[in-house]
Structure 1
Amino acid sequence: MEIDTSAFTEEAYELLSELEDSLLVLEENPQDMELIGRVFRAMHTIKGSGAMFGFDEVAEFTHDVETVFDKAREGAIPVTKELIDLTLAARDQIRAILDEAGGGAPSDKQNAQRIILGLRALIPGNTARAPQPANEEPEPIEASSESAAGKHTYRVRFKPDANIFMSGTNPLLLIEELIELGSCKVVGITDALPPLSEINPEQCHTSWEIFLTTDQGESAIQDVFIFVEDECELNIRRIDRDEDVDDQAQIKRLGDLLVERGDIDKQTLESITDPLGDRLVKAGLVSKGKVDAALIEQQVVKEKQQTNKVQEQAASVRVPSDKLDQLVDLVGELVTVQARLNQTAHSHGDHDLQLIAEEVERLTAELRDNTMSIRMLAIGTTFNKFKRLVRDLSKELGKQIELTTAGAETELDKNVIDQLNDPLVHIIRNSIDHGVESPQQRQAVGKPAAGTVHLSAEHSGANVLIRITDDGAGLDPKKLRTKAVEKGQLPADNELTDKEAYQLIFGAGFSTAAKITNVSGRGVGMDVVRKSIDSLRGSVEVDSTLGQGTSITLKLPLTLAIIEGLLVQIHDEYFVLPLAAVEECVELTRTDVANTHGRQVINVRGHIVPYIRLRDRFEISGPAPDVEQIVISEVEGQQMGFVVDHVIGQHQTVIKSLGKGFKHPDEFSGATILGNGTVALIIDLSKIVRLAEQHEMTGTNG
């Protein structure tokens, strides 16, 4: 029977991502034994699972990394920069092997040998022999049954030495670490507790019995106590073995458990009559804590037996992203149908039908919100990926750069996050190469040798703001204008504000680098950023102070599927403007137009606001009303008005993609279907403004 390896590869990719994060933190804290143990366990899991699922190459390669970190756990070798470099390279090699197994490019076998030789050389007394050739019989690798056996229940008897406090160890912290491994029940045993007047507060008089249900395996439990093995009595026993909890087996009685556990002998037990627990405690033969522990063990085994009869429900379910996207599409269709139902109910004036429509609207709104929340992911997982990027680029360019983050818990639509990776990579690479100076240059101007790149995220209404800030040299607007003129991208007599000059860096082929490097300088990258953010219906804003640094802000919608919009009408055509960008609506009379002498601006409470006539832009025929409406919106940090015939009101917009057969596809981010079946186009405000500016500069119809 063919084994489905998709579960292993998915878990392995997650473990490799966590491994990279742990290694980067360990590099800053090489004495952190918890991190060393985490790296070891990740490698152990990958090795064991890999061998079990037939990924022998992964298991064999990972074995050497696991061995080195086992030595580091024992304190036999220190965690050095060389070890971190080799382990990161090993992490990349494991991923390459997995990619190859999934149909990707072949992994570099010579690179794997170099990594293994380097790791073996770190072990004292190791001759660093080369890996065995592929045609030789490989050294057998023990597959970890723990990683595949699912959840098991263990009884952990933990009796610390009375003087354990003197070594700075807190037993409760060890128990808390156990609790993190799975589901726990803890019983304190106070047999040895002396009278209050005789208690020594500097000694530990309590022991514990912990019943732990976990999928981590016995080795993970032992790792918790690895540093106090000589300062405690520790007994770990699995109590839910198949022969103990078979469907036909009888649950062990309390007395049998107490005898098996060594708490009482069988001869004494036989002299006691029921109720057993109370009689034993009253007779002083067994403490109440031990009876409670035995009862809990009995209950745990009962629960395990019930679990064998009825399959345990998982706390979470992995769902392929395409199924989730299909669900969102269906919810979108439901929202459209619900709008049609509302309109039909109101047009017929049927009270009962209106009540049904309102109930359907409520349920649809709840379903929509829940479905959208399923697709929301914390952006912190994306932020963590860039620690490695900053580390490697800093090393390549000879710079000292620290990456800091904030707002990692901010949630964003999964599809937005997926498409956000490349733009952020381009921005961070440019910040490191062009922005942050070399240590010598920074110290020469009074800055610390190490530069900082800061990533942050925060919610702003229906949007998320992502900022990438560096404390580097900043942008010189004069230099940007000069470069744009040289390349013919800007007329020599054109005057730009500093903010407008900063936007020049997003032009195709625009670069201020003095020389081309492996990192940047070819004029590609930032134009990709603009295109990517535009495709996400977002905007990019740049702010910079010469000599102090640059901040780039990406403004992105929370979701790409459903948005709140403002429905407007021009003649018999309907359009939707993103409501999050709308500030207010004002009237535009023929007198207002005449007073500006052909200039498309309006005075709004003392502020001059330019506007674009959408009727002219979209070449819509028919007479305009005497009083038109201007929808004033914020576009890329500036106020801009959009003239329409009528403002209808707020509309929940389900976004449908457009085909390539439309005349102005660049100016629309999609379309939606209204309640009466009419199609309304969703306007991309940023693109309309940009095309209008190009039209004004070139004198051509954009």
Structure 2
Amino acid sequence: MLEQLSSVFFDEANELLDNLEEQLLALSDNPGDSETIAAVFRAMHTIKGSSAMFGFNEISSFTHEAESAMDQVRNGIIPVTPELITLLLKARDHIRSLLDAGMEVAPEIHQLSENLILEFKVYVQKNGGNVNDPPPQTKKIEKPKHDDKATTWRIKFRPSTTIMQNGTRPELLIKELTELGTATVVPFYNDLPPLSEMDSELCYFSWDVILTTSKTKNDIEDVFIFLDSDSKIEVDKIDLLPGENNKIGEILVSRKDVSQGDVDEILSAKKQLGAMLVDKKIISEEQVRSALAEQQHLKSLNSNGQAQQQAGTQSTTLRISSAKLDQLVDLVGELVTFNARLDQEAVRTDNPTFKNLSEQCDRIAVMMRDISMGLRMVPVGTLFQKFKRTVYDLSTQLGKQVEMVTVGAETELDKTVIEKLNDPLLHLIRNSVDHGIEMPAERHEAGKSETGTVTLSAKHVGAFINISIRDDGKGLDRDAIRDKAIQKGLIKENETHSDEEIFNLIFQPGFSTAKQVTSVSGRGVGLDVVKKDLATLGGTVGIESKRGKGTSFILKIPLTLAIIDGMLVTIGGTTYIIPLNTISECLTSSITQEQMDATFITTQNHGKDLVSINLRKFFKIEEPLPDHQEIVSVYDGDDVFGLVVDKILGSQQTVIKPLGNLYRNCTGINSSTILGDGAVALILDVFQLTSLIKSHLKKGESPAAE
């Protein structure tokens, strides 16, 4: 049991540290943000208390020093400066090291704790703070102060019966009121007549509203500025403290619904106050209900005067082991393969009962696949957020001013893919900050803002996700890249190449245009690894760059590496699979004998030219030609192209299996799957094939298949 509790502590501590890094980077952009300062303090305080509870005294005593510094920042004694942010980020990293060390802290790690504690004391003392803070065991934790900016008001709205005849909608006034802050609304309907006697033009309701807001009394009264003279509105400030254990009697007296003498008389009978007051007809049930709502509203306010989530809306998330989730997806994959075999047997035997069972199994497999894959999908923002620290540290090290912007962080991607994207994205971001963004003085001379921007964006394109890393720096130097490539023997001096081809040379191993080797770059290690890592994911990387404007690296990554819907096709005697989400339509072709002998052909589709790649010719399949061939038109995110196949068999769920190293560099193939009969089918790399078509259109020549 103790091990399970410790595991929970580690999980929560690591989550707090991830959030803490995000908060510190946000604080560096806005040093005066009191909410972020309070959030950093709370994170430090929680880590300190939890670590002490589980016996991690080294973490507790060290975190106490950082918490003490933040407490003085929170109280306005010492300022937030870049020096403090750097120190707090060091402390955050050190706490993670202490977590990794566990109970047994090595002497060098303990010495690092002492060094950082000294740095905190020096900073606090240098900035006029108090370093004689009591130790964690004796420090008195003060109750957070109530935010004076937020005030709680009691609004009693008693509209006239004929208010709606004047064109006023009382419910819209209540809605406008609730938009001013956190509100609890209590309707009164004791004047509501029987349905047979009700007049639809009359108003029978009234309301009490308990509102916590930073707005003034005048702002609240302005909501009712056009109220008719027969309607009544009362706005009173509630003097009872939020979060305190306010008695219902105190609230009723504060509301002037009853006198203190009435309350004392009822309490002496030692019965429920509300029920007794109603029985004695001192107040109505609606007044008690409104007072109870006010009591609950006050309880729900935290120290900042903001409403906490009610129990009914609390998140019901559950942490599960990543290994168990992977095991579940593997089992679903086995179920998909089994279902494919079952489907084939049902067709072969032509047994109605068997076919019905196959259809039911197919529905269950699809639902389980969607649910299990949904569990693996996580927002790509969880990955993007990690790089804010990278940009901060690197720009500080290089003396540059760089901010990172994210777009489409809510876009979801398979967690396995996200884990494997960390290193490629890290290399590309470091490249953008180091090579792309200029020094502040250079940017100023170029008429740019001294602060450069690196933008990470993500969006879905069919079964893939496009991730771009864009900087507003100086762009790639085409001439420098070309000269370096000639020097390294990658191209010849008399050859003509497009910008895209020249730019792609930077992905060659050992390629670098840096004039000197630094701790950040210059050794030519990085971008070639990026391309290889993306290839293992079935992804690609492209470059767009404009001199003086910036550079974009565009990654095209499959959404998942586990299970996809695919279209089965045959070419010769071999079965292939085309990812279903890339397919636009299936066409019966009218290919001439002359076209069958060409690798690239052009046909008409909906009155437009459709350029296709003849896969039989491309894969050098020598088996006899069928009577006719078919074309599958596919969309690669930019345009529609065709894949010429022998026959289209139909769609099927496909469990993706990686290819061995021997077949890893086969052009046009990115993975494989096992069919229901145990045969292996190859999954076509649509984006690689369409890239070959685009290359053919640019050059006017046919690239050979490998």
- With the length of structure 1 as denominator, give the TM-score of the two structures: 0.75
Residue equivalent to 1:64: 65
Q: Distance in 2 between matches of 1:637 and 1:320?
A: 39
3-state secondary structure, aligned to 1:682: strand
Q: Deviation string for 1:407-453 (max 9, x for gaps)?
A: 11111111111111111111011111111111121122222211111
Q: Which amino acid aligns with 1:362?
A: R
Per the TM alignment, residue 661 of structure 1 is displaced from its structure 2 partner at its CA by 6.4
1:592 equivalent in alignment to 2:590: no
Moved more, 517-526 or 475-484: 475-484
Contact 2:664/2:670 (8 A) holds in 1: no
Q: Deviation string for 1:260-306 (max 9, x for gaps)?
A: xx9976653355989961644754389965666669999xx9xxxxx
Residue equivalent to 2:52: 51
Contact 1:160/1:171 (8 A) holds in 2: no
Q: Equivalences for 1:137-216 in 2 at 5 Å?
A: 140=137, 188=210, 205-207=236-238
Contact 1:23/1:39 (8 A) holds in 2: yes
RMSD, aligned CA: 4.8
Per the TM alignment, residue 588 of structure 1 is displaced from its structure 2 partner at its CA by 4.5
Q: Aligned in 2, Cα 1:457/1:686: closer, same or farther, shift over 3 Å?
A: closer
Q: Equivalences for 1:307-346 in 2 at 5 Å?
A: 315-346=316-347
Q: Which amino acid aligns with 2:244?
A: I
Q: Aligned in 2, Cα 1:35/1:171: closer, same or farther, shift over 3 Å?
A: farther
Residue equivalent to 1:474: 475
Q: Distance in 1 between matches of 2:551 and 2:379?
A: 25
Contact 1:564/1:650 (8 A) holds in 2: yes
Per the TM alignment, residue 568 of structure 1 is displaced from its structure 2 partner at its CA by 2.1
Q: Distance in 1 between matches of 2:661 and 2:394?
A: 40
Q: Deviation string for 1:304-340 (max 9, x for gaps)?
A: xxxxxxxx99812111011111111111111222222
Q: Aligned in 2, Cα 1:140/1:463: closer, same or farther, shift over 3 Å?
A: same
Q: Deviation string for 1:491-537 (max 9, x for gaps)?
A: 44443221222221211111121211111111111111111111111
Q: Distance in 1 between matches of 2:110 and 2:510?
A: 38
Q: Equivalent of 2:267, from 257, 266, 269? A: 269
Q: Which amino acid aligns with 2:63?
A: T
Q: Equivalences for 1:392-403 in 2 at 5 Å?
A: 392-403=393-404
Per the TM alignment, residue 99 of structure 1 is displaced from its structure 2 partner at its CA by 1.9
Per the TM alignment, residue 41 of structure 1 is displaced from its structure 2 partner at its CA by 0.6
Q: Which amino acid aligns with 2:681?
A: A
3-state secondary structure, aligned to 2:244: strand
Q: Equivalences for 1:79-90 in 2 at 5 Å?
A: 79-90=80-91
Q: Aligned in 2, Cα 1:479/1:600: closer, same or farther, shift over 3 Å?
A: farther
Q: Equivalences for 1:668-687 in 2 at 5 Å?
A: 668-684=669-685
Q: Which amino acid aligns with 1:396?
A: Q
Contact 1:160/1:232 (8 A) holds in 2: no
Q: Distance in 1 between matches of 2:264 and 2:610?
A: 95
Residue equivalent to 1:623: 624
Between the two proteins, the alignment pairs up a number of residues equal to: 613
Residue equivalent to 1:601: 600
Q: Distance in 1 between matches of 2:489 and 2:501?
A: 16
Q: Aligned in 2, Cα 1:660/1:122: closer, same or farther, shift over 3 Å?
A: closer
3-state secondary structure, aligned to 1:236: coil
Q: Aligned in 2, Cα 1:295/1:628: closer, same or farther, shift over 3 Å?
A: closer
Q: Distance in 2 between matches of 1:347 and 1:552?
A: 50
Q: Distance in 2 between matches of 1:141 and 1:621?
A: 85
1:96 equivalent in alignment to 2:115: no
Q: Which amino acid aligns with 1:602?
A: I
Q: Deviation string for 1:533-570 (max 9, x for gaps)?
A: 11111111211111111111111111111123232223
Contact 2:263/2:273 (8 A) holds in 1: no
Q: Aligned in 2, Cα 1:484/1:686: closer, same or farther, shift over 3 Å?
A: farther
Per the TM alignment, residue 42 of structure 1 is displaced from its structure 2 partner at its CA by 0.5
Q: Deviation string for 1:12-38 (max 9, x for gaps)?
A: 111011011111111122221111111
Q: Equivalences for 1:218-367 in 2 at 5 Å?
A: 233-234=241-242, 236-237=244-245, 268-270=266-268, 277=275, 279-280=277-278, 282-284=280-282, 315-367=316-368
Per the TM alignment, residue 115 of structure 1 is displaced from its structure 2 partner at its CA by 2.3
Q: Distance in 2 between matches of 1:104 and 1:484?
A: 50
Q: Which amino acid aligns with 2:673?
A: T
Moved more, 410-419 or 273-282: 273-282
Q: Aligned in 2, Cα 1:459/1:566: closer, same or farther, shift over 3 Å?
A: same
Residue equivalent to 1:385: 386
Per the TM alignment, residue 473 of structure 1 is displaced from its structure 2 partner at its CA by 1.1
Residue equivalent to 1:558: 559
Q: Equivalences for 1:498-647 in 2 at 5 Å?
A: 498-582=499-583, 586=589, 588-593=591-596, 600-605=599-604, 609=611, 611=613, 613=615, 617=619, 622-625=623-626, 627-629=628-630, 644-647=645-648
Identity of aligned pairs, percent? 41
Q: Aligned in 2, Cα 1:672/1:141: closer, same or farther, shift over 3 Å?
A: farther
Contact 2:614/2:645 (8 A) holds in 1: no
3-state secondary structure, aligned to 1:364: helix
Per the TM alignment, residue 384 of structure 1 is displaced from its structure 2 partner at its CA by 1.2
- With the length of structure 2 as denominator, give the TM-score of the two structures: 0.74
Contact 1:614/1:642 (8 A) holds in 2: no
Contact 2:380/2:411 (8 A) holds in 1: yes
Q: Which amino acid aligns with 2:137?
A: P
Q: Aligned in 2, Cα 1:108/1:687: closer, same or farther, shift over 3 Å?
A: farther
Structure 2 gap segments, 5+ residues each: 144-148, 155-176, 185-207, 213-219, 222-226, 254-259, 300-312
Residue equivalent to 1:26: 27
Q: Aligned in 2, Cα 1:107/1:583: closer, same or farther, shift over 3 Å?
A: farther
Moved more, 471-480 or 604-613: 604-613
3-state secondary structure, aligned to 2:339: helix
Moved more, 684-693 or 433-442: 684-693
Per the TM alignment, residue 700 of structure 1 is displaced from its structure 2 partner at its CA by 10
Contact 1:37/1:73 (8 A) holds in 2: yes
Residue equivalent to 1:166: none
Q: Distance in 2 between matches of 1:88 and 1:520?
A: 24
3-state secondary structure, aligned to 2:426: helix
Per the TM alignment, residue 677 of structure 1 is displaced from its structure 2 partner at its CA by 3.0
Residue equivalent to 1:113: 114
3-state secondary structure, aligned to 2:555: strand
Contact 2:183/2:209 (8 A) holds in 1: no
Q: Distance in 1 between matches of 2:508 and 2:614?
A: 23
Q: Aligned in 2, Cα 1:690/1:671: closer, same or farther, shift over 3 Å?
A: same
Q: Aligned in 2, Cα 1:120/1:626: closer, same or farther, shift over 3 Å?
A: same
Q: Which amino acid aligns with 1:532?
A: D
Structure 1 gap segments, 5+ residues each: 133-137, 147-157, 164-169, 178-185, 208-230, 240-253, 302-311
Q: Distance in 1 between matches of 2:19 and 2:678?
A: 48
3-state secondary structure, aligned to 2:368: helix
Q: Aligned in 2, Cα 1:337/1:647: closer, same or farther, shift over 3 Å?
A: same
Per the TM alignment, residue 117 of structure 1 is displaced from its structure 2 partner at its CA by 1.9
Residue equivalent to 1:183: none
Residue equivalent to 1:308: none
Q: Distance in 2 between matches of 1:60 and 1:320?
A: 31
Q: Aligned in 2, Cα 1:560/1:189: closer, same or farther, shift over 3 Å?
A: closer
3-state secondary structure, aligned to 1:625: coil
3-state secondary structure, aligned to 1:473: coil
Per the TM alignment, residue 47 of structure 1 is displaced from its structure 2 partner at its CA by 0.4
Contact 1:59/1:141 (8 A) holds in 2: no
Q: Which amino acid aligns with 2:117?
A: I
Q: Which amino acid aligns with 2:454?
A: V
Q: Which amino acid aligns with 1:454?
A: T
Per the TM alignment, residue 341 of structure 1 is displaced from its structure 2 partner at its CA by 2.4
Contact 1:568/1:645 (8 A) holds in 2: yes
Residue equivalent to 2:304: none
3-state secondary structure, aligned to 2:236: coil
Q: Distance in 1 between matches of 2:47 and 2:55?
A: 12
3-state secondary structure, aligned to 1:205: strand
